[in-house]
Structures are given as structure tokens and as C-alpha cells.
Amino acid sequence: MPAGQAPIVTFLSDFGAGSGYPAQMKGAVLSRLPAAQLVDLSHEVPPFDLLAGALLLEACVPRFPPHAVHCAVVDPGVGTDRRPLCVQDRDGRRLVGPDNGLLTPFLGPGSRCWLLADRLLAPPPESATFHGRDLFAPVAAWLAGGGLPERLGPPVEDPVRLPWPEPVAGPDRLAGEVLAADPFGNLLTSIRACHLPSGPLLVEAGGMHIRTVRTYGEAAPAELVALLGSSGRLELSIREGSAAARLGAGRGFPVVVRLPGGEPFPALPRAC
């Protein structure tokens, strides 16, 4: 932790903001690190939805200072033999959570992983059903207070990765899919800015041709449009409405991008 900066611990879970579970995790951190600044990323991940949780981590974690520690718990396998994990990505960001694919966005080249195995630093959980409070939060507090992740346990070389949806480029199109809907009903897709060439684009979904805009305000009220959202992903959106409701679209709903005049679609970059 940089000198003179307060430790930061963030939390993400599917516990529900109205439950007492997030508060118990915060108490576990504060009892060990009273000076910590605590930030909720979200506790409204749909129950057991690992991809939704991973997408929220992908969007939120890079916005924090690198010394922040992120405690992420979407854990349908709690109490089983699934491994507890600490991940440090190539930029030094540290996350703790279950080894079930939730931390996939930070398992790229240059990342390192450790098993939470040291019984002094990663205490045996008091409850078989609440590792967020009893294991992950205490480890997050220890890391945020200056602990070194390599002391937690042996390296893990084979962390679980989610099948990460990526678009597929064809001769004349880029085929993607909807991954999630945000609270406004905007549909986030598997197509990212780095997948798209510059210039005009033609977007198709649900049998409709969809106009591309730069920002929501460029759309007419109730108009369905496509744009690059703040997450860096192509979104389908309705100004002052819900694209998810209009299209009846959920995860896996196909979205196609073409170039004007049927021009060939360029190959996707190797690193994106």
C-alpha cells in the first residue's frame, strides 16, 4: 500500500443489498483494519450468476487505485472442495474469491494466483456456508493492510476460467451476443470497441437494422440504437426505455455488425 494512502477494500456479491451478509463482511474487515475505506461494487449480482459478476468486476475494478483489494463472492460451491483464491493481475490489482471463474477477467497474461492455505493468514471458516465473511474478507483486510499475496499459500497454475464469450468474424460480418442487461435495460454485448473498425457500422438484432449513435442523447425518445457504452462494449439501448424489454432479449441473443456496402469485415485483433 502506498505511504500516506488509506487502505481500500471493495465488495461484490449476490447476497442482496437488503440482507445482512454484506455488513458482516464489512465488519470482518473493519475489526482487523479499522482505517479501511469500504466500497460496495454491487450486491445485486443475480444469484449464482458468475458471468454477470465477472462482467461487473471487469467494469469496476480497473477504476480503482491499484492498491485497492477486491473481495468478490458469487459462490454456489461454498463449502465444497472448490479452491479459495487470491489473484494478482499484470497491473498489480489484487482480488480474493472462489476459484470458480468469477475472477476470469483478471486471469490474463502476467497474472499470478495463490491458494488461500496459510491457516494464520487465511483462517479456517467458522461457517461452511459463509466464506465471504470468515475467509475472503479477513484475507482482503490483511492484503489491504500491506500483506504480500505470495505468503498466503502455494501458487495456483490452473485457475478456473469461464468460457468467455467472444465475437466471431465472418467474411462480411461480426457475430456477437448479448451478455447482460444493466438496470436501465441497456443490453451489453460480447462485442468490444477493440473488435470494431473505425467508420460507419450497421448493427442488426431481432430482425431489425439499428442506428448507431455516439451517446444516448443522440437518440430520439423510444428509439432503439446501438452505441459503445462506458464499459467499452457495444450496447443496444432505448432512450428513456428498455432495450431488454423491447427486444425480449437475454443472454445469448444474437447481434450482428456489418460494414456498409457489404465490405469484408477485418480479422479480429489477436489481443483485445
Matching fold, domains 8-151 and 168-262 = no
Q: Is there a contact between 45 and 56 (Cβ–Cβ < 8 Å)?
A: yes
Give the CATH architecture of domain 8-151. Answer: 3-Layer(aba) Sandwich (3.40)
Q: What is the pLDDT of residues 33-60, one digit of tens each?
A: 999 999 999 999 999 999 999 999 999 9
Torsional class of 74: left (φ above 0), alpha (ψ -120 to 50), beta (otherwise): beta
Q: Is the confidence at residue 3, as pLDDT, over 70?
A: no
Confidence band for 272, pLDDT divided at 50, 70 and 90 = confident
Q: What is the pLDDT of residues 97-107, one digit of tens each?
A: 999 999 999 99
Q: What are phi and psi of 2, to 5 degrees?
A: -60, 140
**pLDDT of res. 2:** 66
Q: What is the pLDDT of residues 120-134, one digit of tens each?
A: 898 889 999 999 999
Query: Domain spans of the chain?
Result: 8-151, 168-262
Q: Is the confidence at residue 194, as pLDDT, over 80?
A: yes
| Topology of domain 168-262, CATH | Elongation Factor Tu (Ef-tu); domain 3 (2.40.30)
Confidence band for 264, pLDDT divided at 50, 70 and 90 = confident
Query: What is the rounded average pLDDT of the residues 57-66?
Result: 97
Q: Is there a contact between 186 and 213 (Cβ–Cβ < 8 Å)?
A: no
Q: What is the pLDDT of residues 229-240, one digit of tens each?
A: 998 999 999 999
Q: Is the pTM of this model over 0.85?
A: yes
